[in-house]
Amino acid sequence: MLTRKQHELLIFIDRHLRNTGFSPSFEEMKEALNLKSKSGIHRLITALEERGFLKRRAHRARALEVLRLPDSLATRGAQAAAQPAAAAAQPAAPAPAFAPNVIRGNFAQNLPGAVRTANDAAAVQLPLYGRIAAGLPIEALRDGGESVEVPAAMLGGGEHYALEVSGDSMVEAGILDGDTVIIRRGDVADNGAIVVALVDENEVTLKRLRRRGNSIALEAANPRYETRIFGPDRVKVQGRLVGLVRRYH
């Protein structure tokens, strides 16, 4: 039996993992549960670990894995998933050694550049502009002519592009050196969103955006890096993070 706060935190972590692919930060969990300190989050996570609902993955900063959900939620989820699967059941072809699940969406045919891969799953070629610093800011490259293929289901409306991450200042948000981030182009973002920010017209960096009165803070997700504070006229949002692609070698 879980307490109300344990249940709320478990559902929030599970939903965040499904929507973003990485764990929420302690700050995000604290705000979601309306707690006053992060120590309360530590206690809740420890309790969920002891009860077999959560697992912390070794050597990954703030990386959490949901092992199971409360029985009532797990049962409802299994029933909902079984209904459309049963309706569409048909003899299956032999599966390859690795067969990733692909989310399909009718909107894919309306996305510019949409193509069909060999397994008939909609994919989109996005321009890969270059490497963006997730540590010290560097200028993003915009003339490489390269592209990266991503599942169309990762994208919604609007224009998107990709950037390769360089550095480790966003590791506690699940963003690692060498990852490819998918950015929705735009000049506005919610407070707390991870954005591509242009600083003083010549530095580009990937950070969490915080508004503090008339100032803008670009916040790292690694305690080794300090938060940088700027006047509002020094920072321009160039897009916000909507997805991440990671290659394993």
Structure tokens, 129: 């502009």
In the residue annotation, 169 being an active-site residue is answered as yes
The closest alpha carbon to 232, from 248, 218, 246, 220, belongs to 218
Supply the pLDDT for residue 231. 92
Q: Does the residue 89 lie in any domain?
A: no
Query: Is residue 218 domain-shared with residue 130, that is, in the same domain?
Result: yes
In the residue annotation, 166 being an active-site residue is answered as no
- Domain CATH code at residue 47: 1.10.10.10
The predicted model gives 63-90 an average pLDDT of 59
Supply the pLDDT for residue 92. 44
108 CB neighbour count, 10 Å cutoff: 19
Supply the pLDDT for residue 135. 60
CA distance 173 to 139: 22
Q: Of 30, 55, 207, 215, which is the active-site residue?
A: 207
Supply the pLDDT for residue 52. 86
CA distance 197 to 187: 9
CA distance 233 to 203: 14
Residues spanned by the domain of 17? 4-71
Given a cut of 90, whether residue 219 has pLDDT beyond it is: yes
How many angstroms separate the first and last alpha carbons of the chain?
41
pLDDT bin (cut points 50, 70, 90) of residue 210 is very high
3-state helix, strand, coil in the chain (%, to 5): 25, 30, 40
Supply the pLDDT for residue 73. 60
Q: Of 39, 169, 215, 236, which is the active-site residue?
A: 169
Supply the pLDDT for residue 138. 43
Query: Is residue 177 domain-shared with residue 240, that is, in the same domain?
Result: yes
Query: Is residue 124 domain-shared with residue 57, that is, in the same domain?
Result: no
Lowest mean pLDDT among 85-94, 103-112, 149-158, 204-213: 103-112
Given a cut of 80, whether residue 1 has pLDDT beyond it is: no
**Total number of domains in the chain:** 2
Q: What is the DSSP string of 116-161?
A: E-TTS-EEEEEEEEEEEESSS-BPPP----EEEEEEGGG--SS-EE
Q: Does the residue 232 lie in any domain?
A: yes
Q: List, for residues 101-155, the tens digit of each pLDDT value.
A: 333 333 334 444 444 444 434 778 888 877 776 665 544 455 556 788 888 877 8
